[in-house]
Chains A and B, each alone.
Chain A
Amino acid sequence: MNVVAKTETGRALGDAFAVARDRLPGKGKIADQRRQAFEAYERSGLPHRRIEDWKYTDLRALMREVLPLAPAPDAAALGRAAAAIKLRAIDGVRRLVLVDGAFAPDLSDLGNLDKGLSIRPLREVLDAGEDALSAQAFASDTSNPMIALNGAMATDGVVIDVANGTVLAQPLHIVHVASGATPAAMFTRSLLRLGRDTGVTLVESYLAGEGAKAYQTHDGLIVAIGDNARLDHVRLVEDSVDAFNISSATVTLGAHAQFNTFGLTSGGHVSRYQLTVTCAGEGSNVETNGVNLINGKQHADTTLFMDHAVPHCASREIFRAVVDDRAHSVFQGRIIVRPDAQKTDAKMMTRALLLSDDAEADNKPELEIFADDVTCGHGATTGALDESLLFYMRARGLPEKEAQALLIQAFVGEAIETIASDALREVAIATAQRWLQARA
């Protein structure tokens, strides 16, 4: 018997799923998977602080309810989205745009696809009834209720395949835009499959149309990196000040594969990003780095599960949080070393900089090591800007905010420097500078 009392929220959402179901692509097996995923979600409802992984990000308190599904974008919504994209355009990328949870072909670059590159909207794949592919896209982690919910509700996304041996010179850029007409929820799910010996750079950004209301964006990215392949990933969260962004990425690496990911969160009201990386092939190498730059009442949570399943893999993590006003930064990092994963080399280093007395940073590093011949370590520090450095800089003529800005840039620089592409590193630096300038 189900004795879990349903909250108001749960009930409203149950209705929402019933209402939305007809709009959700995928029949038969997929529809069954969605229903099961929704039931998995419903068993817990919105996660709260008594669930260990959500201790610092109590969605029941912070988000309270899941909003109704956003309507498919009309011409006006697409226009607002286009304007938002223009402000944050990145040169030289192949742009793939999702507006309010729907793939927007007119805003996307689908022409002149490189040989070996295939890009399709998820909706099309589901409508075509491609079972194997659909199953992979919906192989959702039901232990996380928000990933389960994402699987249940996903309306669209992109499915990207890169054939063996293909190295893409042009980065792919998935842009998630909330057009912002009405407060609504959007659910997207994307799949990226890199064949053997491939090389890809993927940028993801989250943007909002001007004057966007309190929207909720839920994305799930599933990535499979083949043997000897390399993925460089940069994720920029610049949602609007009232927005919720509850997203996840699930990444699996083959043998001698390389995954280098960098995330920068400066936007949004509440964000939670769960990154699960599994080294499934020997000799693979992972760098997961990130920066939070938050102020006001922002809450930004990055939760990393680094799973070393096989021997001879290395992972490095550098995370920097800069927290001002009453903002709250959360970093949880769990390194799991399975019994077989001998010669694992895994390190995590997290540092938080508090710029105000009311700012808060929680760091929760965890090591779960079941193999004996490994090198693993983690470190975490939290502190304020060094007063003696600030005075020195001010004595040379720099106003306080400018001196702080230089020290903050240096602080986050160590993480930003890990971005391999010069152009994308510049984009991240510019994003950080925008944040610093807004402070000054």
Chain B
Amino acid sequence: MSLLEVKDLQVRVEEREILHGLSLTVNPGEVHAIMGPNGSGKSTLSHVIAGKPGYEVTGGQILFKGEDLLEMAPNERAAKGVFLAFQYPVEIPGVTTWNFLHAALNAQRKARGEDEISSPAFLKKVREVAKSLNIPQDMLKRGVNVGFSGGEKKRNEILQMALFEPAVCILDEMDSGLDIDALRIAADGVNALRSPERAMVVITHYQRLLNYILPDFVHVMSKGRVVKSGGKELALELEESGYAQFEDAA
């Protein structure tokens, strides 16, 4: 069974249709890249998969392991194994990263009928992951993303991904605002999480990221549709000729 199936998805925001029948099938172990110019609907797709309020799905469906994802609350989706690394991670003053991650992980475990994780076990786990991503311990004591640089925020997203061990990871423009060193650390973090059971959907505007995270499939989005799909060579093609050729196809 496919892990994630988006079928003929139509989505409106404030009376305006943004996605006009988008389809995408993701199987375990696969890495899909979604590329497209600004405003083509990439973030909208990621938000609808994660369950952000404010989007009206007027047609189509999204199945996760065969279940209707659109019927689930965002937190249920997370507990089932859907993870979105945000393009713009929010800052949550007054809620320490540490507390937040512990509460979130336990909420997911509780939803799956698993035991809560104790503070010492959690501490050990977070420390290991943080170390591998070059995240200093004291960042975990601060408010979630408060005063973090762009790169630190993105690394915090990868940290959460590693901690929650989701089945599908959607990475929305994780390369934006990162210099080459930060990008490499983040990409290494993502690559370390690749596994035969886990799938990744890497959303990006630029081909650059795909030098570090090699995709199995590349989809080009334009104006709310997937206009072309292919292997990783499609990314290179785009790098050379740009998105213009697809604008007309949309």
Contact = CB atoms under 8 A, between A and B. Distances in A.
Interface residues of A, number: 23
Interface stretch (A25-33, A386-394, A428-436): A386-394
Given A393-B100, A398-B104, A410 B75 contact: no
Given A396-B104, A398-B104, A409 B160 contact: no
A110 to B, nearest CB: 41
B93 A410 contact: yes
Interface string B112-145: 0000000000000000000000000000000100
B95 A394 contact: no
Interface string A390-409: 01111111111011001101
What size tier do the contact residues of chain B reach?
A: 20 to 34
Interface stretch (B82-90, B207-215, B237-245): B82-90
Contact of B90 (A388, A399, A406, A414): A388
A403 B92 CA distance: 11
A409 B100 CA distance: 12
Given A387-B53, A406-B100, A394 B78 contact: yes
B94 A394 contact: no
Nearest to B52: A391
Given A387-B53, A392-B86, A394-B78, A411 B107 contact: no
Contacts of A403: 75
Contacts of A400: 73, 75
B103 A398 contact: yes
Among A394, A395, A399, A411, chain B packs the most CB atoms within 10 A around the CB of: A395
B103 A406 contact: yes
B contact patch SS: helix
B78 A395 contact: yes
A413 interface: yes
Nearest to B99: A406
B33 interface: no
A432 to B, nearest CB: 13
Contacts of B73: 394, 399-400
Interface in A168-196: none
Contacts of A398: 75, 103-104, 107
A388 B87 CA distance: 13
Contacts of B50: 391, 395
B92 A394 contact: no
Contacts of B105: 397
B64 interface: no
B141 to A, nearest CB: 14
B108 interface: yes
A301 B92 CA distance: 29
Nearest to B108: A397
A395 B84 contact: yes
A394 B51 contact: yes
Tell which of B52, B75, B79 has the most Cβ of chain A within 10 Å: B75
Contacts of A394: 51, 73-75, 78
Contact of B75 (A386, A388, A397): A397
A391 B53 CA distance: 8
Given A400-B75, A407-B92, A410-B93, A393 B104 contact: yes
B150 to A, nearest CB: 16
A399 B79 CA distance: 10
Contacts of B78: 394-397
Nearest to B101: A396
A402 B107 CA distance: 9
A413 B107 contact: no
Contacts of A388: 90
A402 B53 contact: no
B111 interface: yes
A289 B24 CA distance: 54
Nearest to A414: B94
Contacts of B95: 406-407, 409-410
Nearest to A403: B75
A398 B105 CA distance: 8
B167 to A, nearest CB: 13
Among B50, B74, B78, B93, chain A packs the most CB atoms within 10 A around the CB of: B74
A392 B164 contact: no
A389 B92 contact: yes
A397 B107 CA distance: 6
Contacts of A409: 94-95
- Of the listed residues A391, A400, A413, the one surrounded by the most CB atoms of chain B closer than 10 A to its CB is A391
Interface string A414-432: 1000000000000000000
Contacts of A387: 53
B92 A410 contact: yes
A205 to B, nearest CB: 26
Contact of A397 (B86, B92, B143, B164): B164
Contacts of B77: 395
6 contacts: A394-B73, A396-B75, A396-B100, A397-B107, A407-B94, A413-B94
Interface of B: 50-53, 73-75, 77-79, 84, 86, 89-90, 92-95, 99-101, 103-105, 107-108, 111, 143, 160, 164
Given A407-B92, A411-B94, 11 more contacts: A386-B90, A391-B53, A392-B86, A393-B104, A394-B73, A395-B50, A395-B86, A397-B104, A402-B107, A409-B95, A410-B93
